[in-house]
Amino acid sequence: MTIPFSGQHYTKFVENTKDIDSDTFLVTFEGDDDSLCPLNWSFRMRAFTTLMFACCTFGPQFSSSAFGPAVQEIAQLYKVSREVATLGVSLFLIGIGLGPMIFAPLSEVYGRKIGCLIPFFISGLFSIGAGTADNIQTVIIMRFFQGLLGGAPVSNSGGVLGDLWRPEARGVALVFYAFVVAGGPTIAPVIGASMTVTIHRTGWMWVQYLCAIYTFFITFAIAFFVPETYHPVILQRKARRLRMTTQNWAWHSRLDEWDLTFKDILSKHLTRPFLMLITPIVAAMCTYGAFAFGILYLEIIAIPQEFQVVRSWPKITSTLPLLGMMLGVTIGGVMNINVGRRYARILRANNGKAVPEARLAAMKFGAFILPIGLFIFGWTSDPKYPWIAPVIGITVMTTVFSTIFQGCLNYMVDSFLRFSVSAIAATTLARSCFAAGFSLFGTIMFNNLGVPWGASLIGFIALAMIPIPFIFDRYGEAIRKRNPYAAQVM
């Protein structure tokens, strides 16, 4: 029903409405054009909010790989093996994977800003702790908690996009989200290597301080300039204003009807991402998206090694081919935008009802091209080939990575719209575990097998995963109908 803000009107209304069903006082948005609803904010405000949460997501993604170029220096400083020093990257990534499983469901109860900014700010403190540590154990522990708390915006930002954008525009918005998620790790090693080389002995510490400064700046910017986007919390605040204005305590929102105990939060919300992870849709899409994301971190490990060890390039210069990954992410983003426009036409033809399987078009293309990029990179790594040859393979890999990652993300959001944050949290856990494993064994694998066969091994696994998007394109609707979460939004 329409709920005006005039206190006098409400007082009169309440005096003349007795014995009315409680839904009479249920606060909702005033139709499809209510300006209070984030879906109806101005384009400028929605774009600004998207940008700020994208910047929030960029922070932990940047921190995850900026530490990588300092691994050798840290190993020498604390007299440990390179594999032990690499735990500073791997455990950070595991933390990023676990963080959303904790904070994403809480954001569906208390709002996006609380669920995102508080842990994000604390992660900045752990970043300082890692930079000031005087032993390797403290560095690793601080990095884990930095990732754990920094993982909060990774999934919450995806939920924000669901709050702000309608299905026909959400795909394009998710392109920019995915660009940040993939782009952060690609440029961070270049900056991290530059600081490590130019600032003698303490360069890796300043990488940590830089991450902390960025975290604090973005936290305060969002806290003061970005409003809450989660619809139930907005309606809860509207109901609170109405109660104060009208002195009628019957006004309430759906969120006010929840009588949550800590046991409820633990059993119904914190466990939801784990329960979703064992369903066929989430398990398959998470595995494929996580595998592609793991390849991204494998590239981050393998590329500097290929150019520094095999081609004898200097440390900073050997990270520059990573910019080919940024180019690939950009090209993939353009492809995804075009796919999003095609999806908008399909959505209009379907009367605005989401068609998740239509999101898989670019993903099916990328499934075939990903192993080709891996084989090009691996078998042109020999110095007898010009440096541009493996960079072409890198660009091809990252381009189709974007289409696969974006396809998985879009499919999950459209399939589990009501529970999209929990679905993204499950995806984040899977991809972070793959990335942690790939970054840890990547160096060992390429040392033992060589770059050609190491890349080929991953390429063969990519070949085996090609059927996944085709299976869901053919049987996805039937599978979603049997899913306890997806069936609620069909």
pLDDT digits (tens, 9 = 90+) for 419-447: 766 777 777 778 888 888 887 777 778 87
* Percent of the chain predicted with pLDDT > 90: 17
Per-residue pLDDT band at 5 (split at 50, 70, 90): very low
* Residue 171: per-residue pLDDT: 67
Q: Does the structure show a pLDDT above 60 at 219? A: yes
Instruction: Locate 466 and state its tokens.
Output: 């090609």
For residue 434, the SS3 value is helix
Instruction: Show the DSSP H helices in 350-419 as ranges.
Output: 361-379, 388-415
Q: Which residues of 86-99 are buried (b: 16+ CB within 10 A; e: fewer)?
A: bbbbbbbbbbbbbb
Domains in the chain, start-ordered, CATH in brackets?
38-239+262-483 (1.20.1250.20)
Determine contact, residues 89/67, Cβ cutoff 8 Å: yes
Q: How confident is the model at residue 332 (pLDDT cuts 50, 70, 90)?
A: confident
Please state, for a pLDDT cut of 70, what percent of the chain lies above it. Answer: 87
Q: Is the pLDDT of residue 274 over 50?
A: yes
Band of the pLDDT at 3, cuts 50, 70, 90? very low
pLDDT class for 122, splitting at 50, 70, 90?
very high
Among 42-51, 148-157, 435-444, 477-486, the least confident range = 477-486
Q: What is the mean pLDDT of residues 124-143?
A: 92
CB neighbour list of residue 213: distance below 8 Å, 6 or more residues apart: none
Terminal alpha carbon distance of the chain:
25
What's residue 17's pLDDT? 43
pLDDT class for 115, splitting at 50, 70, 90?
confident
User: CB atoms < 10 A from the CB of 474, how many?
Assistant: 12
How far is residue 178's CA from residue 404's CA, in Å, rounded to a whole number? Answer: 11
SS3 content of the chain, % helix, strand, coil (to 5): 80, 0, 20
Give the count of beta carbons closer than 10 Å to the beta carbon of residue 61: 22
Q: How many CB atoms lie within 10 A of CB 422?
A: 30
Give the pLDDT confidence score for residue 260 in this predicted structure: 60
Q: What residues are paired with 26 via a beta bridge?
A: 252
Query: pLDDT digits over 335-353, tens only?
Result: 888 887 888 788 888 877 7
Q: Nearest CA to 211 among 282, 115, 146, 298?
A: 146
State how far the Cα of 309 lies from the Cα of 322, in Å rounded to an integer. Answer: 15
Q: Is the pLDDT of residue 21 over 60?
A: no
> pLDDT digits over 221-244, tens only?
999 999 999 888 888 888 888 888
Q: What is the largest CA-CA distance in the chain?
A: 88
Looking at this protein, which amino acid is placed at residue 358?
A
> From CA 80, how far away is CA 268, in angstroms rounded?
43
Q: What are phi and psi of 26, to 5 degrees?
A: -80, 125
